[in-house]
Amino acid sequence: MLNLGRLESLSRRFDEIDAELAGSTGAFDQERFTALVKERAALEPTVAAYRSYAKLLADVAANEALLRDAEMRELAEEEAPKLVERRVQLEATLTELLLPRDPNDSKDIFVEIRAGAGGDEASLFAAELARMYARFAETLKMKVETVSASESEAGGYKEIVMSVQGGEPYRFFKYESGVHRVQRVPVTESQGRVHTSTATVAVLPEAEEVEIAINPKELQIDTFKSSGAGGQHINKTESAIRITHMPTGVVVASQEERSQLQNRERAMQMLRSILLDRKRREAEEAVGSLRKSQVGTGDRSEKIRTYNYPQDRITDHRINENFGNVRDVLDGNLGRIVRLLQQDERERLLAGQTSAA
């Protein structure tokens, strides 16, 4: 049963936002404007579907009235099945749109990728995952920046942290947290044997300052020279920042910005995100929702997805689905996998609502 009262309330809120955006006067408040635009975008699909549904109900009532008219009954009887079908479709759509929304879906994120088991081959795989995520984000018109990176001698990454901003990145990337496993013949393998390597991925929604309190006295802040591309500035100045949160031992670094101040702010953003993620997981465990951390230990047995080159197959183990064309996916065409994971999440939420009812 649809909650029409809630839908009407959302519709009124949508109109209130439109009125505020259209009638803004005085000093421009960028923060308020951004918040309203985001809220409007989140409401728009639900409100549009509800208004179509309200119009449909009016059409149904009008058609039922025609059924009592001898001259119009035949036409009304012909139209009735179409209206019923449309009503079923819209009610299903609205039921789905009213499902509890992940509060982090609209947030910008940090994506942390670390080479796991497999030595140099694992670092090369980590680099391919980073490239895949960057390209996927770009297809969604999101902004991608490297926060820090530690390269391996083989040319891959021991660790890389990227930020993804704009376009609700957490909604698309949250399913990537976990261990990714690759099975292929490494370029360094002379015998042609297939090796198994892993990389771990953690997707962290960016935390606001109000969400997590950090005592500055508990921070150890170090500066160092950045490494990698960047020219003379990076090679000669200690603009990179490393922050250690002493109570937890969490270490974050930022080296890609051109000033210490910018790198410090970026590192603090990431530290807040990591600490908030820990806080959330501890809260879940405290109420009995025990689970492992996102990435586990990086062991080959802890996997969410396998990229099998010899069979040109990707298997997502959470939904037990196989996908062909490994290279195409690693080139950034991750959408077909993400859509099925989003569908699986919706189905589980619907099942939860049904069982609760």
To the question of pTM greater than 0.85 for the whole model, the response is no
- What is the tens place of the pLDDT at every residue in 286-306? 655 433 444 444 444 468 999
Q: What are the distances in angstroms from CA 66 to CA 76, 83, 265?
A: 6, 14, 66
| pLDDT of res. 259 | 85
Other Cβ atoms within 10 Å of 329 Cβ, number: 19
- What is the tens place of the pLDDT at every residue in 54-105? 999 999 999 999 998 888 999 999 999 999 999 999 998 998 888 888 888 8
Rounded Cα distance between 109 and 337, Å, is 19
Rounded Cα distance between 152 and 136, Å, is 24
Residue 44 pLDDT > 70: yes
Rounded Cα distance between 353 and 141, Å, is 33
Fold entry, domain 109-345: Alpha-Beta Plaits (3.30.70)
Strands 178-184 and 195-205: antiparallel
> What are the structural domain ranges in the chain?
4-97, 109-345
Compute the C-alpha angle 201/264/166, nearest 5°: 55
Q: What are the distances in angstroms from CA 152 to CA 119, 189, 265, 295, 298?
A: 9, 18, 26, 21, 17
Rounded Cα distance between 329 and 338, Å, is 11
Cα four-point dihedral sign 3, 99, 97, 38: positive
